[in-house]
Amino acid sequence: MSEENEGFFRRFHETVTRSMDDVGRNNFANLESDSKRVAYVWELPAVRNYNLADDLEKCQTIAKFPVAKDSETARNFKSEGNGAVQKGDWAKALHFYNQSLMHMPQKEAEELSILLANRSAALNHLERHEEALSDITRCLAYGYPKHLQYKVFERRARCLLVLKRNVEAIKAFKETLSALDDTKLDKDKKQKMRLDAQIMIEVLNKGHVLAGCPKDPEPVVKTPKPKLSGKNNSKYPAASEAIQIDFSEEKGRYATATRDITAGEILLVENPYSAVLLAEYSRTHCQDCFKKCPIPLTCPNCPNVVFCSEKCLDTALKTYHGYECPVLPLIWSSGCSITCQIALRMITQKNIGYIKNLKDLDVKPCGTYKTDDYKNVYHLVAHEEKRSKDDFLHRSQMAAFLVKMLEISGYFDDKPRTEPVKHEELKSMAISEKNAKDGAFIGGLVLKNLQILQFNAHEVFELQCPKPQVGKNVIKHEGKSVFLAGAIFPTLALFNHSCDPGVVRYFSGPTIVVRAVKNICKGQEVAENYGPIFTTVDKARRQAELRNQYWFDCSCEPCQQDWPKYDDMNETYMRFKCDSDRPCPNVVPVQHDCREFMVQCGLCQQYTNILKGLKSLQEGFVEIEVVLVVEVLEIVVIVVKSKMGIECGSKIEIKSVIGIGKKEQHRDQNSERYLNSNLLISTSDAQSMAKP
């Protein structure tokens, strides 16, 4: 990939780093706070004189992200939509109207209203009546021309009829009648429509009385929110009361079971403190709740992001998107990774007044551990004491760049800008004098966020599940998890890793759900999975990955006892933990045709009774090949192969599940469970982050 395609941040980083001599580097290394580090970067001549406008001219990726809406592009899409209507291709028409709406500037209110009316027609034909109704309301709000309104009122009435909302339909037919007074239709047509509407009102009124004047049915209820099994923990409300957070010098904080936990229990349901959608999904998924948006609402100012509802649009505009909107093309084109975008969102989601009021951040918070309290996030592991000066320098440059973007966005003036960024504003990467103090404080927070996210961010997945194929004794699911966004979950971030984890994660929008996948006894650790697990990755690689990415030496059971991977397990012998009186870490291999029940350990020479182990195997073990997620919230296990006399195709109780998804997919996903967030630059999408 060419340097231009990679984004311009790398060039900025290299230029600034090269410009520093040993004295400058030493001065930087001696700085003691994050805000001083970022302020130092802005003082460097190479940063003050850095002309980003020059870089942008060379940057090819910027062309992918238009900075403003454009009526010509919008009108071209609209004509394509109208062409598709003439051919009766309503799905294509919907696609083009969506595109047109995305690009149409807000000042073209009448054109927007016509587009929405056209889209409602397409939706009605595609039998998406609820969505057609929403577009009709929107088109009227935009000022749909009076002489055409009879059309949308009549469409509204027909949609309501299909949805059996007859009382509302009567009202809509009455609205059609009054709107017909304003039409330019010829007399006969008008008369016919009037008669049709009157007949419908009469028939519906009679039917309504005959049926005993029932109320209209309520609109369809959305998917219920996932719920914890049992009560919430009073100190950590996102977690169940079955979990507590302990501390040790060598492992920091970690979760343990306060009582026996049964496989399948939901142990944590948490909203993210911050979450950011990957750029490649910004026009297909809601920027705020990550739902797929086949009928998008668009940002009034930019053509780059979509929303699923007025509620999400409103939330985003009033907070983070209001500020990010004018600089998003710059941020995406810089090539910065999703982690850097989360570090920025942790600021933009709150206004400058809130951020400036954050006091005594270094005092450890006590009391209830709330997910939306920045202080809790601030105290997550950042390993500052182990960082090199080069690491700090690189992150400080990223923080300086991100805060410069904030300045351009109007964040410091508490007023989101609406006009596109001008090239003159990019002739220096230093922050202006008037924002120096606030800039240093916020820069310090962004730098801290970058360090925290390195160890605590999660990837958010969307489960894509096409219809299952039902065959003889087997239901085949081709579902796959797609990496959609990055997020930080403050309570889940307190769970440590084990290569034989006790839980799995899945998502309902940006909300994370954590379920036990095995029985966990009271007092035992409830461990997460940071990526490598013993079933698929050998010990040396697991240890290297965990050391490199999370800066700890894993001493979990599979690492201590060097458990074999699935593929290396030998069917001719079984392995039993040495069960002698003395604590012995050995695993005793037993041939499958062994006739003894007391076998001797090669390490401690004591005897282990293997009958106990065999009995628990018989009770709990089945060979599970397929583990499915049904409607995201329910885990169901279907046996397709069993050595234990369980019928194929039957549903079984979960005793021990190693993950969600097909065995193969589980393997693929595991390496990507956590963001590779020690990296600041991503080359294309966040999946293929390149080393800085």
Ligand X SMILES: C[S@@+](CC[C@H](N)C(=O)[O-])C[C@H]1O[C@@H](n2cnc3c(N)ncnc32)[C@H](O)[C@@H]1O
Question: Is residue 253 near ligand X by the rule CB under 6 A?
Answer: yes
Q: Mark the segment that binds ligand X (CB under 6 A) among 301-309, 549-557, 633-641, 659-667.
A: 549-557
Closer residue to ligand X in complex, CB, 145/585: 585
- x/- mask, ligand X, residues 336-355, rule CB under 6 A, reads --------------------
Counting contacts by CB under 6 A, is residue 550 touching ligand X?
yes
For residue 487, the cross-strand partners are: 275, 458
Give whichever of 252 and 523 is closer to ligand X, judged by the CB atom.
Answer: 252
Q: Does 380 bind ligand X (CB under 6 A)?
A: yes
* Contact set for ligand X, span 673-692 (CB under 6 A): none
C-alpha triplet 427, 393, 371: angle, nearest 5°: 100
Q: Rounded distance, CA 524 to CA 255, Å?
A: 9
> Counting contacts by CB under 6 A, is residue 542 touching ligand X?
no
Q: Can residue 455 be called a binding residue for ligand X (CB under 6 A)?
A: yes
Give the C-alpha distances (Å, rounded to integers) separating 89 from 75, 83, 92, 114, 120: 19, 9, 6, 19, 14
Calculate the alpha carbon distances from 103 to 67, 68, 74, 476 in Å. Answer: 11, 8, 5, 41
Q: Decide: is 552 part of the binding site for ligand X (CB under 6 A).
A: yes
411 counts as binding ligand X under rule CB under 6 A: no
Query: What is the length of the chain?
Result: 692
Angle at 94 between CA 88 and CA 95, to 5 degrees: 115
Residue nearer to ligand X on the CB measure, 449 or 456: 456
Report the residue number, 368 or 555, with the smaller CB distance to ligand X. 555
Residue nearer to ligand X on the CB measure, 372 or 425 = 372
Minimum distance from residue 527 beta carbon to ligand X (Å): 7
Candidates 315-323, 403-411, 457-465, 552-560: pick the segment binding ligand X (CB under 6 A).
552-560
- CB nearer to ligand X: give 84 or 516: 516
User: Which residue in 405, 554, 635, 689 binds ligand X (CB under 6 A)?
Assistant: 554
Cα 534 from Cα 518, distance rounded (Å): 15
Rounded to whole angstroms, the Cα distance separating 245 from 494 reads 7
Minimum CB–partner distance for residue 156 and ligand X (Å): 51
Let me know if 619 is exposed, middle or buried by CB neighbors in 10 A (0-12, 13-18, 19+): exposed
Contact between 254 and ligand X by CB under 6 A: the answer reads yes
Q: Based on DSSP, count helices (H) and strands (E) in the chain, helices before strands.
A: 25, 20
Contact 607, 482 (CB under 8 A): no
Q: Is 450 in the site for ligand X (CB under 6 A)?
A: no
State the binding string over 606-625 for ligand X (x if CB under 6 A, else -): --------------------
Site string for ligand X, 497-526 (x = CB under 6 A): x-----------------------------
Q: Shortest approach of ligand X to residue 484 CB, angstroms?
A: 21
Strand order across the beta sheet in which 480-488 lies: 274-277, 480-488, 457-464
User: Per the structure block, which two tokens stand in for 671?
Assistant: 């390496």
User: Quick check: 387 binds ligand X (CB under 6 A)?
Assistant: no
252 binds ligand X (CB under 6 A): yes
Contact present, 348 and 319 (Cβ < 8 Å): yes
Question: How many CB atoms lie under 10 A from the CB of residue 447?
Answer: 27
Q: Read out DSSP for 432-464?
A: PGGGHHHHHHHHHHHHHHHHHHHHHEEEEEEEE
Q: How far is CA 158 from CA 139, 151, 168, 528, in A?
A: 17, 11, 10, 52
Give me the phi and psi of 329, to 5 degrees please: -60, -35
Minimum CB separation of residue 242 from ligand X in Å reads 18
Shortest distance in whole angstroms from residue 277 CB to ligand X: 22
Q: Near ligand X by CB under 6 A, which window of 119-127, 261-269, 551-559, 661-669?
A: 551-559
- Tell me how far the alpha carbon of residue 206 is from its chain's centroid: 50
Shortest Cβ 325–ligand X spacing (Å)? 32
Instruction: By CB under 6 A, tell whether 120 contacts ligand X.
Output: no
Pick the stretch among 113-121, 138-146, 245-253, 468-476 that binds ligand X (CB under 6 A). Answer: 245-253
**Identified binder of ligand X from the candidate list 442, 494, 514, 635, rule CB under 6 A:** 494
Nearer to ligand X, 120 or 676 (CB): 676
Q: Nearer to ligand X by C-beta: 185 or 381? A: 381
Place of tokens 């399948």: 264
Of 146, 192, 225, 251, which one interacts with ligand X (CB under 6 A)? 251
Q: Which is nearer to ligand X, 131 or 528 (CB)?
A: 528
Strands, E, within 308-425: which ranges? none
236 binds ligand X (CB under 6 A): no
Nearest-angstrom CA–CA distance, 310 and 289: 12
Identify the sign of the CA torsion 360, 364, 368, 373. positive
- The size of the interface with ligand X (CB under 6 A), counted in residues, is 17
Q: How far apart are CA 576 and CA 135, in angstroms?
A: 64
Strand segments, DSSP code E, in 138-228 are none
What does the binding site for ligand X look like in residue numbers (CB under 6 A)?
Answer: 251-254, 380-381, 455-456, 493-494, 496-497, 550-552, 554, 556
